[in-house]
Structure 1
């Protein structure tokens, strides 16, 4: 297997179409709580989802994934926390370390911004994502049982996090 050349960078406005297409192609009830997107598609970037909130994985010259890193709330009391609010990798490069590279880049960016913790939410039935997060040092910090009704089944919302500083 040839390992792809991966570059991680901050998203740019010109990435909008590629990221939107990637997001739509990757939609799955395994990780999405919103219904599948339908045409006409909403803009990928908006007032709440700005390019600078995203790190993009470029593999062999093409956008192949992203991670969104944001403040969990507008409160000053938890400005020391960053939250991952989306991680998507193109199916064609899954299993090649792209998601791991994005997670590590997000942690480094959060540290550079002065964050002391990083958190995320993952659906209970998404075993591959939960295993990846655990392998990167994220621990389950809370469970909201049956928080979402997806495809006729109640699914837990798993809260995970890790320290960025000692």
Structure 2
């Protein structure tokens, strides 16, 4: 890993589209993806169902004198469109650039998501993660997420069935 400037998190803007799309494509893996690998022509990264307002972006400078680069992103959305569920936000994507792994970008994005969810009136946050994605599950558990349910064999990936794990945590102040 290259030496990075301190990481920072900010809301995404439409100008981030190309860099986020490239990050998304470059980090695609069956460790976390249930869709096939992206192929041209690529779908837009932002859209009506996934607007820039739902994304947080981690930035860092990869090398001395360089410009800030996107080190990762997290998508935070309403869990459902129901008013009775408005107190819950859901993480619907988290990616960290290969060059930024191990520098704390994922953890920083999660903590920023907790703050953003609270700002939006949420008191609970949830996510879904593939059972075989042990690094992500360990990160989530270290940040207070607990397994709340499992969909056994929910996906068929690389010739085997993979469980879908539902995790959640309270956003109440500790």
TM-score normalized by the length of structure 1: 0.98
Cα offset, 1:2, TM superposition: 3.6
1:49 aligns with 2:56: no
2: CA distance between counterparts of 1:41 and 1:4? 31
Other-structure match for 1:31: 32
- Give CA-to-partner distance per residue, 1:71-129, whole Å, 9 cap, x none: 01101111000000000000111111000000000000001111010000000000000
Other-structure match for 2:154: 147
The DSSP-based 3-state class of the residue aligned with 1:5 is coil
TM-score normalized by the length of structure 2: 0.93
1:128 aligns with 2:135: yes
Other-structure match for 2:117: 110
The DSSP-based 3-state class of the residue aligned with 2:155 is strand
1: CA distance between counterparts of 2:4 and 2:43? 33
Root-mean-square deviation over aligned CA pairs: 1.0
Residues 15 and 3 from structure 1, CA distance in 2 versus in 1: closer, same or farther, beyond 3 angstroms?
closer
The DSSP-based 3-state class of the residue aligned with 1:49 is coil
Cα offset, 1:4, TM superposition: 3.1
- After the TM superposition, which parts of structure 1 deviate over 4 Å for at least 4 consecutive aligned residues? none
Unaligned runs of 5+ in 1: none
Unaligned runs of 5+ in 2: 62-67
How many corresponding residue pairs?
166
